[in-house]
Chains A and B, each alone.
Chain A
Amino acid sequence: QKEVEQNSGPLSVPEGAIASLNCTYSDRGSQSFFWYRQYSGKSPELIMFIYSNGDKEDGRFTAQLNKASQYVSLLIRDSQPSDSATYLCAVKSEGGGTSYGKLTFGQGTILTVHP
């Protein structure tokens, strides 16, 4: 079982709609969760991070965290064609041993916003 799983894509939404991206993780002790956006041929760039249960909003983006259910999601409101990219969920391990403090990435979800 992968440690970080993202909903399989690709995901296609019309312009102006809400895009919902989901991620589950297996390490119950994880405390920090990150969403990165990666345009084709480019490097990942951070959109948001969250470490408290509940919602965190930043402009059109909302990250949601539910530690009891071990999932984190990213909502993109009023989606634009410029949001078309691969979205990577990453979880920072808080477990002991060699994994401490390192990010584990999901496989990514490709989002396409069509006009």
Chain B
Amino acid sequence: NAGVTQTPKFQVLKTGQSMTLQCAQDMNHNSMYWYRQDPGMGLRLIYYSASEGTTDKGEVPNGYNVSRLNKREFSLRLESAAPSQTSVYFCASERASGKLANEQFFGPGTRLTVL
């Protein structure tokens, strides 16, 4: 099992360009998440999908859109990249969201630089 995979690993964009970050999991998990990590700020939730067919905003959704393509795949799109979106992006999956103390499994991350 590959767990959670993300592509690309690195990306450099110019201000105003668009791109889509891809995420896939092979653990048959229901819930998937997109986080960004900036120095000294821990992980902040951008969007999440509690189950196939649903998506909701997290703490910092502005400038992003998501698509839960199927149970395995959850993509994050930047329509018009800005330097403030320079960050490391992590995708995570979880068996089911809610009260259960479920573990979230993280992908390897995408390092994005916006010039």
Is A32 an interface position by the 8 A CB rule? Answer: yes
Instruction: Known A43-B107, A44-B90, A101-B50; judge A92-B101 contact (CB<8 A).
Output: yes
Closest 5 CB pairs of A and B: A105-B42, A43-B106, A101-B97, A32-B101, A105-B43
Are A32 and B99 neighbours in the complex by a CB distance under 8 Å?
yes
Name the prevailing secondary structure of the B interface residues.
loop
Q: Which residues of B contact A (CB under 8 A)?
A: 33, 35, 40-45, 48, 50, 56-58, 90, 97-101, 103-104, 106-109
Q: B108 to A42, Cβ gap below 8 A?
A: yes
Task: List A residues at the B interface (Cβ < 8 Å).
Answer: 4, 31-32, 34, 42-46, 49, 51, 88, 90, 92, 94, 98, 100-108
Contacts of B40 in A (CB 8 A): 107-108
Q: Is the CB of A101 within 8 A of B99?
A: yes
**Contact B90 A102, beta carbon cutoff 8 Å:** no
Once bound together, how far apart are the Cα atoms of A106 and B44, in whole Å?
A: 9
| Complex CA distance for A88 and B37, rounded to whole angstroms | 12
In the complex where A31-B99, A32-B101 touch, is A43 in contact with B43 (Cβ < 8 A)?
no
A99 → B minimal CB distance (Å): 9
A103 to B108, alpha carbons, bound, how many Å?
Answer: 18
The answer on a CB contact under 8 Å between B101 and A102 is: no
